């Protein structure tokens, strides 16, 4: 029996220690994973790589830079997800401003996603233009160049680029298919040096196609282009569902708060009447009535009930002393021994008295005394 008891006790302590160790490991992992995600999200990897490869003209290095730019959006997207999770778990008082802020935050995510997809569209359009040049060179020379810099001696003035790479050339039967990037080539978005024009056009492209879930996009057979369109459709659908769900929660919370406000106002009116009657019956001064009503309203706004019989419990110390003296002084002066005492002594007695409320016709006896039938 004793062995079984000690064995059970040892197992219980061991389980507690294991659970504490697992909880500690989990906490350490969460902290370090958040730090790592934050570090990778703000790390200027593409900017540093641009400075390193600034004088390089290799197309492979440009593709490597594109890969890094796309890769860094993984920790940034994860950081946004963690922020949304923390936003919903924050133990904060649900005020109307906070509720509306959470609804506006989901709309901000929608706008941010439109900007990101527009930037990717512009970025990938440049890659498709380079691919069209490579396609034209393969058709003309049978080889693919590694650079298109004008100062490279291996590049010549190839007129076939105007035929194969032109988006408006319908006479050439084997012209390059830009797919959904034809808009960027046709409107000279890539060649333009007007930054507002580029930004607004790319942002509008992302917002329009994210809103329509990519249904209006005409793609080529290029694999990564189709993957990009599928990702736009899925992301747009998820953001629409998130926006609708968040707005539904916001509406429900606002309706709940409105009903709670109506309930609090109704309670205030009922309590106001009870407290006013109690104050009038006890001849409380007018200035003290105002302070007491302010404390009553503050308690009701915090969803705390107020009992008129125990109203001293919600008052500050000074107001509580004043009410006790005001209520007890006439009764204590009826006692012959206390009637001749100094008022300061009576005030000291009041400060140490604990008010007790009894109903009418209550029999009060001393503790330990015998009860007479």
Kindly list the distances between the CA atom of residue 259 and the CA atoms of 266, 303, 305, in Å, as whole numbers in the listed order. Answer: 11, 13, 17
**For residue 115, how far is the Cα from the chain centroid?**
20
The 3-class secondary structure across 212-238, one letter per residue, is CCCCCCCCCCCHHHHHHHHHHHHHHHH
**Contact in structure between 311 and 271 (CB atoms under 8 Å):** no
Predicted local distance difference test score (pLDDT) of residue 1: 46
CA distance linking residue 328 with residue 324, whole number of Å: 6
Question: Residues near 274 by Cβ (< 8 Å), separated by ≥ 6?
Answer: 308
**For residue 92, how far is the Cα from the chain centroid?**
11
CA distance linking residue 84 with residue 105, whole number of Å: 9
Instruction: Tell me: pLDDT of 67 over 80.
Output: no
- pLDDT tens column, 183-229: 777 777 777 778 888 888 888 888 888 888 878 777 788 778 888 88
Q: Where do the structural domains in the chain lie, given as residue ranges? A: 8-255, 282-352
- pLDDT tens column, 282-303: 777 777 777 777 777 777 666 6
Q: Tell the burial category of 115 from Cβ atoms under 10 Å away from its Cβ (0-12, 13-18, 19+).
A: middle
* Mean pLDDT on 70-98: 66
CA distance linking residue 179 with residue 183, whole number of Å: 9
Tell me what the pLDDT averaged over the chain comes to. Answer: 70
Predicted local distance difference test score (pLDDT) of residue 11: 45
Q: What is the pTM of this model?
A: 0.54
* Mean pLDDT on 327-343: 73
């Amino acid at each position: 029996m004793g062995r079984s008891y000690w064995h059970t006790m040892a197992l219980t302590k061991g389980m507690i220690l294991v659970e504490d160790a697992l909880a500690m490991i989990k906490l350490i992992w969460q902290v370090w994973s958040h730090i790592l995600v934050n570090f990778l999200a703000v790390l200027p990897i593409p900017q540093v790589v641009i400075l390193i490869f600034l004088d390089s003209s290799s197309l492979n290095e440009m593709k490597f830079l594109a890969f890094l730019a796309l890769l860094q959006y993984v920790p940034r997207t994860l950081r946004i997800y963690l922020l949304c999770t923390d936003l919903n778990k924050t133990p904060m008082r649900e005020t109307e401003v906070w509720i509306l802020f959470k609804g506006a935050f989901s709309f901000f995510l929608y706008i941010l996603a439109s900007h990101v997809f527009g930037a990717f569209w512009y970025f990938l359009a440049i890659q498709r233009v380079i691919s069209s040049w490579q396609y034209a060179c393969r058709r003309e020379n049978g080889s693919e160049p590694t650079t298109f810099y004008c100062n490279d001696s291996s590049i010549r003035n190839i007129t076939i680029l105007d035929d194969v790479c032109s988006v408006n050339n319908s006479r050439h039967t084997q012209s390059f298919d830009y797919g959904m990037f034809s808009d960027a080539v046709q409107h000279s978005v890539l060649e333009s040096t007007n930054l507002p024009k580029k930004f607004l056009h790319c942002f509008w492209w992302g917002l329009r196609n994210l809103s329509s879930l990519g249904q209006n996009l005409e793609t080529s057979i290029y694999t990564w282009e189709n993957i990009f369109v599928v990702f736009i459709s899925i992301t747009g659908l998820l953001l629409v569902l998130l926006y609708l769900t968040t707005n539904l929660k916001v509406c429900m919370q606002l309706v709940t708060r409105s009903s709670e406000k109506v309930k609090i106002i109704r309670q205030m009116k009922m309590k106001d009447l009870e407290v006013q009657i109690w104050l009038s019956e006890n001849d409380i001064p007018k200035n003290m009535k105002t302070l007491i009503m302010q404390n009553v309203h503050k308690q009701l706004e915090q969803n705390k009930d107020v009992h008129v019989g125990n109203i001293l419990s919600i008052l500050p110390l000074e107001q509580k002393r004043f009410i006790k003296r005001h209520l007890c002084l006439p009764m204590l002066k009826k006692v012959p021994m206390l009637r001749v005492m100094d008022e300061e002594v009576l005030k000291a007695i009041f400060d140490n008295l604990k008010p007790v409320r009894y109903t009418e016709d209550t029999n009060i006896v001393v503790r330990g005394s015998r009860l007479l039938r």
